[in-house]
Structure 1
Amino acid sequence: MTKTLFITGASTGIGAATARAAVAAGWNVGLMARSADKLDTLTKELGDNAMALSGDATDLAAQEDAVRRTVERFGTLDAAFANAGTGLDKPGTEGGDPDEWRKLVDLNVMGVLYTARATLPELRKTRGHLLLTGSAAGRNHIKGSIYSASKWFVHGYAGNMSEEMREWGGRCTLISPGMVDTPFFDEAKPDKLKPEDIAGAVMFAISQDPRAEVREVHVMPTG
């Protein structure tokens, strides 16, 4: 039976590139993002193996509904990619915007937890795979960076989930990219990584023999 991957933050950048790579490899994909128009365009491109699931990753009920609809459509859930994330316009603690911090924590921390919460019951059935988008910023101390601190959470949580999921044959992989040329940045970064590079890391991890858990894939640009 064809395997199924659920992706948050799926309408652009790393999420969209991963959707394309997964479908090319024969997977079905359930694609969740806030931008319904972009999702519809992407699913039309990908065809019957893709399902658009418009919704906000900071809403647990919305994620649970998206997972339910994915399983209803494709019959199974074999992997989930908690990819949705955001940065800050105003960096630092004294100069930062507390309202903006809340939005970052809601997506970068709570959104990741919600993806895990919504998908683990289905992944347990298939001895499936959970993947989380971390960052090179989650491996290093960056002066005053609250965004970096949010990714430190993701890195720690990924390791903790690996220990939990291995008890029932599941796997968890942290995808840790350096700077990627995506809409995450206001200006193009043509000399940095491309979304397709990170999609390749995801596909590498989920294509391994079930006996092997790739716990982290750390990808840095050469430029």
Structure 2
Amino acid sequence: MAGKVLFITGASSGIGAQTARQAADAGWKVALFARSEDKLKDLASEIGENAIALPGDVTDLGSLQAAVDKTQETFGSLDAVFANAGTGLDTPGIEKGDPEEWSKLIDINIKGILLTLKASYPALKKAKGHLVLTGSVAGRIHISASVYGASKWFVHGLAGNMTPDMREWGGRCTVIAPGMVDTPFFDEAKPDKLKPEDIAKAVVYAIDQPEHANVQEIVVMPTQ
């Protein structure tokens, strides 16, 4: 797998940043996409010549398309995409939920993944590449009135639908379903839960499989 290229959304912190580090250690070139330009540049500098910082907005197709084009210009191909960008809600549930927050969540967690796939699909098809989506255990179980959970059900459904589509042209699709992870996603630290490194290992494991094998889903749960 040495020298292949991985495009990561939500790459500036947490799971995305750690996946970039571990993928680079495994021989991948990494294209880092997120809104936080300073964090991206710092991460790209840390990784070195096999990383490129691509500031942009996952809800903007033009921004994503420009980043995908720049990735191919710089590294010569695009072999895998990790659609990882996501957000949660400050006010969960329906009764007290904020429709403006729902719109933001839908834009990032649902439309953002669709736009990422739209922008990268031709490059993935050309490379017979690999799509990896950040789902959630919340997208595999029912949580009372969870709008966030429903958005992750969409992600799992999309992954299931993309698997046969990509198989037709030699591509692969994987959904990673973490339990609670100690990342900036939460307002308070979760020291007894999963770490971003745990999820990054799952992503790298999936994309480093031989071409005849597709790991379609990985569920990673904390032991406590």
TM over 0.5: yes
Q: Which residue of 1 aligns with 2:70?
A: 69
Q: Which residue of 2 aligns with 1:177?
A: 178
> Structure 2: which amino acid aligns with 1:151?
K
> Structure 1: which amino acid aligns with 2:51?
A
Q: CA deviation at 1:114?
A: 0.8
Q: CA deviation at 1:154?
A: 0.2
Q: CA deviation at 1:94?
A: 1.6
Q: Which residue of 2 aligns with 1:14?
A: 15
Q: CA deviation at 1:2?
A: 1.2
**Identity of counterpart residues, as a percentage?**
66
> Structure 1: which amino acid aligns with 2:57?
D
Separation in structure 2 between the aligned mates of residue 104 and residue 59 of structure 1, nearest angstrom: 14
Q: Which residue of 1 aligns with 2:207?
A: 206
Q: 1:8-30 CA deviation, whole Å, 9 max, x = no partner?
A: 00000000000000110111000
Separation in structure 1 between the aligned mates of residue 181 and residue 11 of structure 2, nearest angstrom: 15
Q: CA deviation at 1:184?
A: 0.2
Separation in structure 2 between the aligned mates of residue 219 and residue 33 of structure 1, nearest angstrom: 24
Q: 1:77-105 CA deviation, whole Å, 9 max, x = no partner?
A: 00000000000001111201101100000
Separation in structure 1 between the aligned mates of residue 141 and residue 199 of structure 2, nearest angstrom: 19
Which residues of structure 2 form unaligned runs of 5+? none
Q: Which residue of 2 aligns with 1:115?
A: 116
Greater than 4 Å deviation, 4+ residue runs: none
TM-score (normalised: structure 2): 0.98
> Structure 1: which amino acid aligns with 2:85?
A
Matched, 1:140 2:137: no
Q: How many residues align?
A: 223
> Structure 2: which amino acid aligns with 1:14?
I
Q: CA deviation at 1:4?
A: 0.2
TM-score (normalised: structure 1): 0.99
